[in-house]
Amino acid sequence: MAVRALQPIREKLARAQTAFFRAADAISAEKWDNCPGLNEWSAAELVAHLVVVERGVITRVDQLTQKSPLPVPFPKRMHLPLWLVEARVIRRKSPVPLDPCLMAEKEAMLGRLRGVRERTLAFISETEGRDLSVYCWRHPFLGMLNTYEWMEMIAAHQLRHTKQVREIGAKLSRKL
């Protein structure tokens, strides 16, 4: 993949992070770990989820790229479009369990989220000269994604949850 083709991924990751932090700003530190309804995540749980998922993706891709890529036949490389993640039209229960150790005060959790994104961007920069499109693994809902699609999925996933954190903020503001 050409170096300039990485810039749209970096930009989408930056846009997603900015939008998420704006939405999170609307939730006070006092209400950070309040659940807006039955069986609904708090903003804190949502951030913990984002950290676990992004950290997991970066750990996996880092491990995969240390080895020779395994060939994936074209038909198996087919996947659902990434816009489905961002659109949030299909509600899914996360297959990734929450890590209670990640629960903390609002600023500490947002700092962790910034840190994992810095690691993602560092990985993209560190591997810029390599073609990582040959490294693939299966997403539990979308299907087989290559490394660059996983990076885009991280941004789409965060944008999906930006909508959710806005909903949480709106519900919590109605609960006085």
With 0.85 as the threshold, say if the pTM is over it.
Answer: yes
List pLDDT tens digits, range 72-115.
776 677 777 777 778 776 666 665 667 778 889 999 999 999 99
Domains assigned to the chain: 3-174 (1.20.120.450)
Going by C-alpha positions, the residue among 30, 10, 19, 57 that lies closest to residue 49 is 57
Helical (H) or strand (E) element with 143 = strand 143-146
Q: Judge whether residue 65 has pLDDT over 70.
A: yes
Give me the pLDDT at residue 21, please. Answer: 98
Q: What share of the chain is helix, strand, coil (3-state, %, to 5)?
A: 65, 5, 30
Contact indicator for 175, 36 with CB cutoff of 8 Å? yes
